Structure 1
């Protein structure tokens, strides 16, 4: 297919596609080193301090929908311009696949609304095959990445405590916030059964790390992106400083179609569609970095076909798009009678958990599944919500003051107000986030029959959980019930069973998808080398979650940041040597 493409000038040293964790970090490091960069983002510019874009500290009544989640998946004020379904940007699924693909179209991408759980992968996480014989080892180990984890900690800031847990590496931590009341109850429940619960590790500032970022003021609204830059978002912490160097030109609302190559198959730039005038443009660059997210980067590569790369760019291995995997997830809510009729006070804290449970059974090989999970907890007195999904009759004999009552909760007027006040702050919940074993057949590919509104062929997903993940979810649910019982709570609803895969979320719902452009030592079995550089195309790098060989039970963002910094250092050195 031929296009009339408008040439942009000048020619850049580096063109980076995507401004999230990987793209933002690459822009920051390479700009600081003096390289001229084009940063290409599929959505608009964004700054949480901009009064026109700020949603932090807005009241529900300030929304046209009164805070309902009819516009954005996590509510009107959540800072994600996107979702699992985007108008005019479809994707398709093979029969039997329930993969859901979340995209966020804005500067900083999904880092503007994530949970900011900032965990390092441990030594075991890079070499799981040596431990359980499944999947593949990374071509690098913890010691290769540790110096960059250290740098990320110091640059961005993360709170936590040193615990000396073998596969939960300690870092450079800011002081953690103290536990809230509901978290003390959880701590009581876990301690009775020997499950650890330690201060969380979140990239939220409990004290200043530089003059441009203020410390958290505990409004509990990190998902709205912080107007004082007290939490980590790529747009605030990486892209803004990169722009201040004068070395970065930002191209927004630019939907990249493909990487353009020369007659020898080397990258020469990118072809994008301007979403405002719908014209085709080309940016020329000596090096191209894809950091558009695991699936988006795979899509760009698979759409970048040429006579030299007939199977898609950097895809001589036929691995691009394969080994797609997401974190597992299963959750449970509970009611705490002892938290009824609470005294009202401000315990908002940070926008996330103050305590969490790291995986505690690495040495137990009798579980029926190979990889572990951590547990995240929530509760407290945030914006009031109401409703249990069952009648007050279920609580007879358990809730002080209502023994013998058979009335249903709620109603209207005064009765509703009484119930809301009575139950406010008494709901808690927990969720497991676990590691799945990458499968070659779990993949995304180009759908040959469908294009998006920009004329770009879309992705088709193939994905099924295995029994490993289902058994892991069953273990999560058993653990949740035991914790709830030991903390004096009541689990809400029926316990998920085998018919629902024990509450196991659809793949893609945890928004941790990785693995589509995996790194490895063998070019026949991997897309990238250990520095995120394409085996087939030396001046092409992928610096997002696509490079992951396996996803630990940890959230991937901290590792994306560390690997992007490491790869950027390598790229800069190779360019200065004239090797690229």
Structure 2
């Protein structure tokens, strides 16, 4: 059999969806419930965290040949649910003009929703109107009120814990009870609030109470990143895709690397997609009445830019020329501290949920600061099960044990064991996650010189932080030190300075990329309308974070889910009205 032999599937589906993450999974769920016949394509393999062959939850480090260490194919560690990482064999990407961007890809059913922190925050009213409020950036074509009903539905469908706090731009939702703060979090809250930094219960999509018969309740093993066999946390694979397939209306095909969206030369409408079966290397075309892209912001842009034809010479849905542009990722900076008051603690199970129990929403007015956008703070610490590399935190900082002089550092044997016991649980960490200003000059494009192992042209990135993001990182570092000192703690390591961009993470490292196929009211300045429907191709939709005009100082997943639900409802309505 020749490589890349093209085959046509006989069926014409109501919809073909590319990608099974938050957006693709939600679209599949919504369309299946409406009775549509859907083909869902996922570039990676099948995954079900409740299937014994995939379970890594509750395993001991010695059950891994690498004791849980990361590998090329599992950058989060040998037990992490993510299959993939920053670099994938045979799937390269490059950067342009000395700039830097790191692209994390997860090749599996459910994509990156299998291993994320479950931080489930709504964008606030101000996040949709940054341009008109500040004169910097652009407004979305929708408001908070447009998407609020869908946030409400997502809260109830999936489940999220939290508390009603009445922060105007960090909207409350329909919350399950939050878990109680642990000792280090109580100390963080006391210290932070003493200097004017609010600390409130986190908002994570983890079930602290049952919400239906198909999903269990969190049993506090602190291992959500491994995939929950009780389905007590949100992953697209377990909560959306598997239920959608069970309706009988969704056909799932794994190992399907989509090359392009196909179109009709006469009408310009999308007719389906062409994909490479990554196992057989056959190229297969499928036909569908509508096409929905949920492959991730960069991958969806890549698909559109590779979907060239005589009618669409610059790529599909790209008459505006904005596809690939306005790429942006959350800012990030971190710091940790040693808190002597937390030494010599009594041992007890402090695992909790798989993530933080408290966090800090943005609390200041940027009009009074020297940078235009805010950030939130995520906190870590406690006496969770030690993992691979735990000893590094103690030995690298050379803390003295009582009764030793400056020449008697932590070393080995009984002395080392004694110090580990004493220092265990005495560390805290904090990370800022902030909003950048999207720029046209930050973009991805097709690399003219490279293809992946399937023969598909790859991406090339051009991305630079500006002074806005660097100054924001400085504010993060100043705040972190203030909180640590207020706890009576000692900041670890040297405080990052201007020559290090104040510890600002490299672009892409926070894995919150958005933009690239932005929506808007003007077809000359945007690729999609307010329903994430292509201006140029009315039966083409994008349901990941590519349509987003800006980030917000929040994680993206809850907004991807809400907007994908809204788009799916609109699509269903348009089909009923025979507009599609």
TM bucket normalised to smaller: over 0.9
State the distance in 1 between where 2:394 and 2:134 align: 42
Q: Determine which of 344, 350, 355 is the counterpart of 2:358.
A: 355
State the distance in 2 between where 1:390 and 1:381 align: 17
Equivalent residue number for residue 29 of structure 1:
30
Contact 2:394/2:423, CA 8 A, preserved across alignment: no
**TM-score normalized by the length of structure 1:** 0.97
Aligned 1:132-143 pairs, distance under 5 A: 132-143=134-145
Equivalent residue number for residue 219 of structure 2:
217
State the distance in 2 between where 1:185 and 1:557 align: 29
Contact 1:391/1:407, CA 8 A, preserved across alignment: no
State the distance in 2 between where 1:468 and 1:412 align: 46
Comparing 64-73 and 251-260, the one that deviates more:
64-73
Equivalent residue number for residue 433 of structure 2:
433
State the distance in 2 between where 1:170 and 1:212 align: 26
State the distance in 2 between where 1:498 and 1:403 align: 36
Q: Deviations along 1:471-518, whole A, 9 cap, x unmatched?
A: 000000000000000001110000000011000001100000000100
**Structure 1, gaps ≥5 residues long:** none
Q: Deviations along 1:64-116, whole A, 9 cap, x unmatched?
A: 11111134221111110000100000001012211000000000000000000
Aligned 1:537-548 pairs, distance under 5 A: 537-548=537-548
What is the SS of the residue equivalent to 2:392? coil
The list of structure 1 runs, each at least 4 consecutive aligned residues, that deviate by more than 2 angstroms after superposition, is 387-393, 401-406
Contact 1:392/1:405, CA 8 A, preserved across alignment: no
Query: C-alpha displacement at 1:58, in angstroms?
Result: 1.0
Query: C-alpha displacement at 1:404, in angstroms?
Result: 4.2
Equivalent residue number for residue 63 of structure 2:
62
Equivalent residue number for residue 19 of structure 2:
18
State the distance in 2 between where 1:182 and 1:156 align: 29
State the distance in 2 between where 1:349 and 1:283 align: 45
State the distance in 2 between where 1:389 and 1:178 align: 27
Query: C-alpha displacement at 1:458, in angstroms?
Result: 0.2
State the distance in 2 between where 1:425 and 1:243 align: 44
What is the SS of the residue equivalent to 1:547? coil
Aligned 1:243-322 pairs, distance under 5 A: 243-263=245-265, 264-322=267-325
Aligned 1:201-240 pairs, distance under 5 A: 201-240=203-242
Contact 1:353/1:378, CA 8 A, preserved across alignment: yes
Comparing 67-76 and 237-246, the one that deviates more:
67-76
1:424 paired to 2:424: yes
Contact 2:125/2:169, CA 8 A, preserved across alignment: yes
State the distance in 1 between where 2:380 and 2:528 align: 38
What is the SS of the residue equivalent to 2:546? helix
Contact 1:303/1:446, CA 8 A, preserved across alignment: yes
1:406 paired to 2:411: no
**Structure 2, gaps ≥5 residues long:** none
The total of aligned residue pairs comes to 573
Query: C-alpha displacement at 1:403, in angstroms?
Result: 6.7
Contact 2:222/2:354, CA 8 A, preserved across alignment: yes
Aligned 1:153-168 pairs, distance under 5 A: 153-168=155-170
State the distance in 2 between where 1:433 and 1:134 align: 19
Query: C-alpha displacement at 1:423, in angstroms?
Result: 1.2
Alpha carbons of structure 1 residues 457 and 249: separation in structure 2 relative to 1, 3 Å: same
State the distance in 2 between where 1:449 and 1:20 align: 29
Equivalent residue number for residue 10 of structure 2:
9
What is the SS of the residue equivalent to 1:207? coil
Contact 1:15/1:285, CA 8 A, preserved across alignment: yes
1:53 paired to 2:58: no
State the distance in 1 between where 2:437 and 2:412 align: 50
State the distance in 2 between where 1:221 and 1:299 align: 33
Query: C-alpha displacement at 1:143, in angstroms?
Result: 0.2
Aligned 1:72-91 pairs, distance under 5 A: 72-91=74-93
Q: Determine which of 365, 383, 386 is the counterpart of 1:381.
A: 383
Equivalent residue number for residue 529 of structure 2:
529
Query: C-alpha displacement at 1:382, in angstroms?
Result: 1.7
State the distance in 2 between where 1:559 and 1:284 align: 29
How big is the alpha-carbon RMSD for the aligned residues of Structure 1 and Structure 2? 1.3
State the distance in 2 between where 1:497 and 1:507 align: 18
Equivalent residue number for residue 553 of structure 1:
553
Query: C-alpha displacement at 1:402, in angstroms?
Result: 4.2
Query: C-alpha displacement at 1:578, in angstroms?
Result: 1.0
Aligned 1:179-198 pairs, distance under 5 A: 179-198=181-200
Contact 1:25/1:564, CA 8 A, preserved across alignment: yes
Alpha carbons of structure 1 residues 390 and 479: separation in structure 2 relative to 1, 3 Å: farther
Query: C-alpha displacement at 1:575, in angstroms?
Result: 0.9
Equivalent residue number for residue 500 of structure 1:
500
Equivalent residue number for residue 461 of structure 2:
461
